[in-house]
Amino acid sequence: MRKIIWLYLSSFGIMFAILSWMQESHILSNDLGALKGFIALLSGTILYFAIPKYLD
């Protein structure tokens, strides 16, 4: 169970960092606010289901 939580939180954090970098690079608008967290949640969920199956 701890591995599942760790992988999900890591996926969210990675996507949040990527979105922050995209804002700093002016690829995304700086006015996203809480929407950035929601986008990170959705894309992190996709990343969570895509990556771990290759690690086992």
Q: What mean pLDDT is reported for the chain? A: 89
- Is the model more confident about 15 or about 1? 15
- Reduce the secondary structure of 7-56 to three states and give it as a string: HHHHHHHHHHHHHHHHHHCCCCCCCCCHHHHHHHHHHHHHHHHHCHHHHC
Element (H, E) at 1: none
Measured in residues, the chain has a length of 56
pLDDT at res. 55: 63
Task: State if pTM tops 0.85.
Answer: no
Query: Is the Cβ–Cβ distance between 9 and 47 less than 8 Å?
Result: no
